[in-house]
Structure 1
Amino acid sequence: MPPSLQQQQDRQAQHRLAVLRHAEEVTGNVSQTCRYYGISRNCFYKWQRRYQDEGFEGLLDRSSKPHHCPHATEADVVNKSPGPVEPASGKRGCARHRGNRRGRHPGLRAFQSQRGPLP
């Protein structure tokens, strides 16, 4: 049975803690530890800062979703429903594109005359 999401996150946080401890206890050198584990020093220092500020919980994965979007549509506008919208006439789309749907495009006729009718 595959591990749960919580177990995966805990395992990853344990790994990050092991990286921090390795630098502190084994090598004493951040650059060597980062090279050994294949991570950047920026990543190491980010984990270290989070661990100092928040403890083990700081090493858990965080969402990459932005905190806010300045271009987002306001919630009250999104929740408003204009109701069903009827086209102005019974036709859908402009005349040129209606012809395309019916197989009456001039380029399509030339293609059909060379290859035969379309299936």
Structure 2
Amino acid sequence: MSGEPRPTIRLDKWLWQARFFKSRSLAAGVVGAGKVRVGGQPVSKPSRSVGPQDVLTFPQGKAVRVVRILEIGTRRGPATEAQALYEDLSPPPPPKTPENPRYEGKGRPTGKQRRDMQKGVFGDEPGDA
């Protein structure tokens, strides 16, 4: 490795620059609550220095994000610029399944189905019942 020092930035500032949080105080709150891990180790100080190749794990909404820092950046720019700062290592979300699938059939018969039942199409013989 070269003798150059590794570029670093505050953790809360990087999370804000990479657009994971709308404000730096929100990012600092999540870090301060101990919900962020750097390299698998919990961090509770927003002033923790991070740099390229660090892996961050933190909750965002109902999902858990895992990202590798590629660059530290210089400003909070547009989303396309922010996406160049990290590599997303998060597992893909589970496939969505309907919570209450609609119950098909076995409801009240339509007029056509009722007439067909009376004719015996569905296995009922006229006169049964």
Instruction: Compare CA radii of gyration and give the structure with the larger one.
Output: 1
TM-score normalised by L of structure 1: 0.21
Larger strand proportion of the pair: 2
